[in-house]
Chains A and B, each alone.
Chain A
Amino acid sequence: DVKVTQSSRYLVKRTGEKVFLECVQDMDHENMFWYRQDPGLGLRLIYFSYDVKMKEKGDIPEGYSVSREKKERFSLILESASTNQTSMYLCASLPGTITYNNEQFFGPGTRLTVL
């Protein structure tokens, strides 16, 4: 079974802090994604990575950066946290071969509160 883990289930930070959210997958997947999920707005893609050291902006990259130094790990960085970044953050991974069934496997999520 694919396992995607996230470093924290709940996180509380203060405005202006630098925040690191970590995601690790154990299935040697090439592709990894960071989403945020907000009531009424659904799942929105922040960044994704299709290989080590490669990254692409998603729909809402502003205020975020990412790092992928190793294949299994994809980090989301909030350089200076703001209250509007309070959200549920979900990481997902996907094998590299494009098929019609590109199932993304999700981690358990990190609920971040910025005070």
Chain B
Amino acid sequence: QKEVEQNSGPLSVPEGAIASLNCTYSDRGSQSFFWYRQYSGKSPELIMFIYSNGDKEDGRFTAQLNKASQYVSLLIRDSQPSDSATYLCAGEGAGSYQLTFGKGTKLSVIP
């Protein structure tokens, strides 16, 4: 059974701080990892994907992948109230279209 684990939160950070969201996965065959953001009542939207060990930066967002530790993270710098949402981590197996989602971490950015 492939599993992706996330802390459900809520994670509260003050405006301007760094928010750190973490995810672990059980399937060593997983190749790519995705971070989706989901606002309340809305559908998920992709923020970032990563498939190589190390860091990947896109604006205020940095995704980190450590395949040896089976660990994925998302850092949000200069957090804004508009970042308040649930963040879903998902892993994809090799040659597969299927995503296994974590249960999501709810982030609240306090003005």
Tell me the A residues contacting B by CB distance below 8 Å: 31, 40-45, 48, 50, 58, 90, 94, 98, 100-104, 106-109
Sample of 19 A–B contacts (CB below 8 Å)? A40-B8, A41-B103, A42-B88, A42-B104, A43-B101, A44-B101, A50-B97, A58-B98, A90-B44, A94-B97, A98-B97, A100-B31, A100-B32, A101-B49, A102-B32, A102-B92, A102-B99, A106-B43, A106-B44
In this assembly, does B111 line the interface, its C-beta being within 8 Å of a C-beta of chain A? no
Instruction: Return the chain B residue nearest A41 by Cβ.
Output: B103
Chain A contacts of B78 at CB under 8 A? Answer: none
Q: How many residues of B contact A (CB 8 A)?
A: 22
Chain A contacts of B97 at CB under 8 A? Answer: 31, 48, 50, 94, 98, 102
Tell me the B residues contacting A by CB distance below 8 Å: 8, 31-32, 34, 42-46, 49, 51, 88, 90, 92, 95, 97-99, 101-104
Instruction: Return the chain A residue nearest B89 by Cβ.
Output: A42
Summarize A's interface: helix, strand, loop or mixed.
Answer: loop
